Amino acid sequence: MGQPRWPEPVILFCGLIAAGEAVLHRALEPLRARFGGILLRSAILPFDFTDYYESEMGGGLVRQFVAFEEEIDPGCLAAIKLETNRLEQQLAEEAGNVSQRRTVNLDPGYVTPDKVVLATTKNYAHRIYLSNGIYAEVTLNFGKGTVRTFEWTYPDYRTAMAAEFFLAVRRRVLEKRRQRKAARPGQE
């Protein structure tokens, strides 16, 4: 019989889609305040993969990924998603945004040596329920030094920019695990 084991800590990231770079930068402040310093950030790209968010957020959308220095327990992902939803609402209210529901979309997830997991409020066949109305999916996985996608992987997660970012985050995850292992020799 298998014995339950606590998971290793993971690196938290957040995918941001914002109504322009100024909004994106404004959204980083409360994220830093809550989740700590930024470990890595991707380039900023135009978000022109879909018009899904335009009716809510307007045109000229941009995409960026950020990873945080402080590792988390992967079991906290549902609570983190609920918190980023509250931050979205708070940022919309601070902007005096009455005609549009959001100015920024915040999608948290985490990176392990094997995969990228993304939190969502939407249920589909490939998603697993976590708690409190939050689901998770494996969006990407890693193999032989590359990023592999799935049929459900969003187009912006399929870009070279996303692959570069998530491979860099994965290297940091592996580095942190090596450091932990070196700090406790003889323990497995």
Top pLDDT among 56 and 31 is at: 31
Question: Closest Cα partner for 42 from 71, 23, 60, 16?
Answer: 16
pLDDT digits (tens, 9 = 90+) for 131-154: 999 999 999 999 998 999 999 999
pLDDT at residue 99, rounded to an integer: 58
Domain boundaries, given as residue ranges, for the chain: 10-179
- CA 149 to chain centroid: 16
Written as six digits, the tokens of 54 are 């335009």
pLDDT digits (tens, 9 = 90+) for 65-102: 999 999 999 999 999 999 999 999 998 888 776 555 78
Measure the CA–CA gap between 154 and 160, rounded to whole angstroms.
13
